[in-house]
């Protein structure tokens, strides 16, 4: 007897199969579905966790913990909704737990390109363009080090929202749902995060330029 919730072999192997369909297949007992879902997110989610935690090995652990939780909690997922925000909510919670247990601060990079083609930019570009003076000289290594230093000093809630908005490109509403905060709070918190980064960047690069003088 056919089950409407199962997916054929051809469908489940195809990249066009949605995350939600894979979850439905997993819940229906199809043993191929969950491993495919894990592989689908292996690169992007691991990259997100590594930026969040500042450690590849920690990202490995939290990635595994995340999908263990997904596996155990699969029956609670509402298959009429989008899986990705739910998955990243669990991953973020697991990362925060790891962070609290380790009692260490994270160093992130905000120099990842955003946008597309001629409209490509980085958060660093936005800040640097407002502070850079003629004759300024900073190597790529120094610049990266400064970025990490500034972000490391940000409060956790500001680091997290920068990751979600600038790296994972979640919408304001998705971030609000994931963090269980009002939409207005998302906007104000992100605005504050960028402002804090800009202030920290100005101070750090000023100190760096003094060291060169």
Domain ranges in the chain with CATH number 1.10.10.10? 117-212
**pLDDT at 43 exceeding the cut of 60:** yes
The CATH architecture to which 9-102 belongs is Orthogonal Bundle (1.10)
Q: What is the pLDDT of residue 211?
A: 61
For the entire predicted model, the pTM comes to 0.53
Residue 42, pLDDT above cutoff 50: yes
- Looking at the chain, the domain(s) classified CATH 1.10.1740.10 span 9-102
Compute the average pLDDT of residues 177-192.
88
Q: What confidence category does residue 117 fall into, taking pLDDT thresholds of 50, 70 and 90?
A: low
Of 38 and 153, which is predicted with more confidence? 38
Q: What is the pLDDT of residue 179?
A: 87
Query: Which residue, 94, 93, 88, is CA-closest to 164?
Result: 88
Question: What number is the average pLDDT over the span 127-156?
Answer: 62
Average pLDDT of the residues of the chain: 76
Residue 85 has pLDDT above 50, yes or no: yes
62 compared with 12, residue with greater pLDDT: 62
- Over residues 56-70, mean pLDDT: 91
Highest mean pLDDT among 87-96, 103-112, 164-173: 87-96
Which CATH code, of 3.90.550.10, 3.20.20.70, 1.10.1130.10, 1.10.10.10, is assigned to 117-212?
1.10.10.10
Q: Is the pLDDT of residue 83 over 90?
A: yes
Say if residue 118's pLDDT is above 60: no
Q: Examine the pLDDT at 143 and tell me if it is beyond 80.
A: no
């Amino acid at each position: 007897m056919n089950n409407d919730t199962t997916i054929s072999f051809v469908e489940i192997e195809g990249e066009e199969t949605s995350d939600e369909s894979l979850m439905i297949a997993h819940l229906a007992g199809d043993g191929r579905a969950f491993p495919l879902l894990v592989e689908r997110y292996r690169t992007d989610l691991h990259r997100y966790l590594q930026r969040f935690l500042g450690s590849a090995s920690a990202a490995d652990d939290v990635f595994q913990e995340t999908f263990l939780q997904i596996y155990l909690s699969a029956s609670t997922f509402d298959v009429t909704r989008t899986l990705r925000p739910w998955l990243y909510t669990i991953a973020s919670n697991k990362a925060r737990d790891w962070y609290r247990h380790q009692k260490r601060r994270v160093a992130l990079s905000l120099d990842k390109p955003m946008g597309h083609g001629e409209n490509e930019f980085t958060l660093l570009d936005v800040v640097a363009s407002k502070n850079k003076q003629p004759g300024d000289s900073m190597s790529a290594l120094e610049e990266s080090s400064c970025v990490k230093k500034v972000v490391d000093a940000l409060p956790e809630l500001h680091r997290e929202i920068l990751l979600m908005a600038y790296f994972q490109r979640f919408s304001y509403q998705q971030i609000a749902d994931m963090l269980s905060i009002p939409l207005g709070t998302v906007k104000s918190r992100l605005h504050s995060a960028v402002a804090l980064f800009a202030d920290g960047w100005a101070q750090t690069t000023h100190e760096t330029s003094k060291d060169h003088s």
